[in-house]
A = this chain, B = another copy of it.
Amino acid sequence: MKRDSRLSSVLHALLHMAEREGPMTSEDLATCMNTHPVVVRRTMGLLREAGLVRSARGPQGGWRISADLGTVTLRQLHETLGEPAIFAIGNRQEMPGCLVEQAVNAALDDAFAEAEALLLHRLGQITLADLAADFSRRHAGRREGKT
């Protein structure tokens, strides 16, 4: 199944932007993420609407973060992306008349709702700053390993 990887994408983009002084162009971001600049604009556009990043046209233009890394959670980003469906498994029919199917749906919906709640809770606990810190650790670790 084709999975939505936009959350992963924007995180990658935001952390790269956080590492930089100036703005990054869609082209820059697309290169470091192996994708297409238009895809970057499309996705980052959603973050712009939410006030998380700003974009500027023309020379010296590009994207830059306009939010505090410590206050932006992964859950918030998920919501900003339009809360795409989390599960690749679902009910055959959403509003069945069949009582059998209603019983099946109820059981599955319950289980999935619980898992979703846990996931969103966890995503709500992780900030961009946390990821940046983890990146720094990995970076230091690699340098050490190389020495």
Chain A residues with CB under 8 Å of chain B are: 1-5, 7-9, 11-12, 15-16, 19, 32-35, 74, 84-93, 98-108, 110-112, 114-116, 118-119, 122-123, 126, 130-131, 134-135, 138-139, 142
Residues in B whose Cβ lies below 8 Å from that of A110: 122
Inter-subunit contact A88/B118 (CB<8 Å): no
Inter-subunit contact B107/A138 (CB<8 Å): no
Per the bound structure, the CA–CA distance linking A135 and B3 in Å amounts to 33
Determine which of B19, B122, B142 lies in contact with A111 in the assembled complex, contact meaning CB atoms within 8 Å.
Answer: B122
The distance from the CB of A46 to the nearest CB of chain B, in whole angstroms, is: 15
Q: With A15-B100, A115-B115, A122-B115 as known contacts, state yes or no: A8 contacts B105, CB within 8 Å.
A: yes
Determine which of B5, B116, B130, B139 lies in contact with A99 in the assembled complex, contact meaning CB atoms within 8 Å.
Answer: B139
Inter-subunit contact B91/A88 (CB<8 Å): no
Determine which of B1, B102, B142 lies in contact with A3 in the assembled complex, contact meaning CB atoms within 8 Å.
Answer: B1
Determine which of B90, B93, B104, B130 lies in contact with A107 in the assembled complex, contact meaning CB atoms within 8 Å.
Answer: B130
Residues in B whose Cβ lies below 8 Å from that of A135: 99-100, 103
Inter-subunit contact A90/B5 (CB<8 Å): yes
Q: With A111-B123, A115-B115 as known contacts, state yes or no: A84 contacts B93, CB within 8 Å.
A: no
Residues in B whose Cβ lies below 8 Å from that of A100: 12, 15-16, 19, 135
